[in-house]
């Protein structure tokens, strides 16, 4: 792939920082734009850094005018489903409104390519065992709805402008950490199951709660498609290459095509850590669909992306190596 100038919003966050690492290792010229509300400056291993908020349209336009990126990758967002149910406007502002600012700034600065961090939450409760990209978008929480609206904006802008193309990547459940232990998940508030299970193993939480055991799934707990963060980073590199080579817009699921129940995740976490941490089964958490598993054929066929780490134990082990080093 030709070296590019890439502006990365949210590059100090969990997924963004892994993409920065991969693209930095490939020699691209990177500039991270992040307000550090959820991210960490030390996680940005390559490129320049602008401490900025996406709500600041003036700084955003100036940053793009000065840097003149060939592509923008947009990670910065609020991501907690249950919080989005309690505080929907935060999600429409941070995810939808700020994306509008960013897309406007890209149009003003003639940025040709845009890669968007979308989510499996756009599908809501799918009617099939695995969802493909043509499945209908029926989000059941404001988080998913806030992202659907951005996908729609991107589609409309790309239709209206010849020289604007985008790829939306719909992430399933991203987990794990860099193999070399340099970066990993570092949220101020951990809500994800694998991180919480590991924190329970460390004794940071007295127990792990399983939210809901009466879902219509084989063991009654929710099923998710867990994808290693480095495989997801590789999907971003493939999306950039596709935009560069084909100059066409597209949407791809990012998952492995099979899922694990919460109970199965707990079993693997206990095995990897060697700690039989306490587990309590409690009521359902708001906004959780019973099953979300990707049909991931399209990304393989069109982008040539192949997973390298499709192994829950590997995912949990890399997360555990990272987590053990945290206080
Ligand atoms: N869970 C527990 N206990 C916990 C934490 C989670 O039982 O302490 C359960 C949840 O109820 C859910 C499953 O584990 O059934 C996975 O939950 P996560 O919070 O790890 O992930 P989500 O599936 O809620 O969220 C992820 C991404 C979102 C994406 C969403 C799609 O973080 O960005 O998948 O549903 F939108």
Q: What is the per-residue pLDDT for 190?
A: 85
Going by CA atoms, what residue is nearest to atom 5 of ligand 1? 193
Mapping DSSP to helix (H, G, I), strand (E, B) and coil, where does residue 320 land?
Answer: helix
Q: Catalytic site residues?
A: 143
- In the chain, CATH 3.90.25.10 covers 193-224+257-325
CATH for 193-224+257-325 is 3.90.25.10
pLDDT at 77 over 90: yes
pLDDT at 82 over 90: no
pLDDT at 187 over 80: no
pLDDT digits (tens, 9 = 90+) for 192-249: 999 999 999 999 999 999 999 999 999 999 999 999 999 999 999 999 999 999 889 9
Ligand 1 midpoint to CA 174 (Å): 10
Ligand 1 midpoint to CA 163 (Å): 37
What is the pTM assigned to this prediction? 0.97
- In the chain, CATH 3.40.50.720 covers 5-175+227-254
Residues 234 and 105: their CA atoms lie apart, in Å, by 26
Going by CA atoms, what residue is nearest to atom 1 of ligand 1? 193
User: At how many degrees (to 10) do helices 262-273 and 193-202 cross?
Assistant: 40
- The average pLDDT across 322-327 equals 87
Q: Is 224 in the pocket of ligand 1 (CB under 6 A)?
A: yes
Share of the chain above pLDDT 70, in %: 100
Q: Is 316 in the pocket of ligand 1 (CB under 6 A)?
A: no
- The average pLDDT across 247-269 equals 97
Pick the CATH number of 5-175+227-254 from 3.40.50.2000, 3.10.50.40, 3.40.50.10190, 3.40.50.720: 3.40.50.720
Ligand 1 midpoint to CA 44 (Å): 26
* Helix boundaries (H) for the chain: 14-25, 57-67, 81-86, 88-91, 98-108, 142-160, 193-202, 229-246, 262-273, 297-303, 312-324
């Amino acid at each position: 792939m030709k070296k590019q100038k890439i502006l990365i919003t949210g590059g100090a966050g969990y997924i963004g920082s892994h993409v920065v690492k991969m693209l930095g290792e490939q020699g691209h010229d990177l500039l991270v734009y992040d307000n550090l509300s959820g991210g960490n400056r030390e996680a940005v291993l390559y490129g320049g850094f602008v401490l900025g908020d996406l709500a600041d349209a003036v700084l955003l336009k100036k940053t793009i005018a000065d840097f003149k990126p060939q592509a923008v990758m947009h990670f910065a967002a609020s991501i907690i489903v249950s919080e989005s149910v309690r505080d929907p406007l935060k999600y429409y502002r941070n995810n939808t409104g700020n994306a509008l600012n960013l897309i406007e700034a890209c149009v003003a600065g003639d940025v040709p390519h845009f890669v968007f961090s979308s989510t499996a939450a756009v599908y809501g409760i799918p009617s099939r065992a695995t969802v493909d990209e043509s499945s209908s978008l029926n989000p059941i929480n404001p988080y998913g709805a806030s992202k659907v609206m951005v996908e729609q904006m991107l589609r409309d802008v790309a239709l209206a402008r010849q020289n604007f193309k985008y790829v939306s990547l719909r992430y399933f459940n991203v987990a794990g950490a860099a193999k070399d232990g340099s970066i990993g998940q570092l949220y101020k508030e951990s809500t994800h199951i694998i991180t919480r299970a590991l924190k329970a193993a460390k004794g940071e939480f007295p127990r792990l709660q399983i939210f809901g055991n009466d879902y219509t799934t084989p063991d009654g707990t929710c099923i998710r498609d867990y994808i290693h963060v480095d495989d997801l980073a590789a999907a971003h590199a493939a999306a950039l290459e596709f935009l560069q080579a084909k100059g066409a817009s597209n949407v791809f699921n990012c998952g492995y095509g099979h899922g694990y129940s919460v109970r199965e995740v707990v079993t693997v976490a206990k095995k990897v850590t060697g700690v039989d941490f306490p587990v309590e089964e409690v009521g359902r958490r708001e906004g959780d669909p019973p099953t979300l598993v990707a049909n991931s054929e399209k990304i393989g066929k069109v982008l040539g992306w192949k997973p390298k780490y499709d192994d829950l134990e590997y995912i949990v082990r890399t997360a555990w190596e990272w987590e053990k080093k945290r206080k």
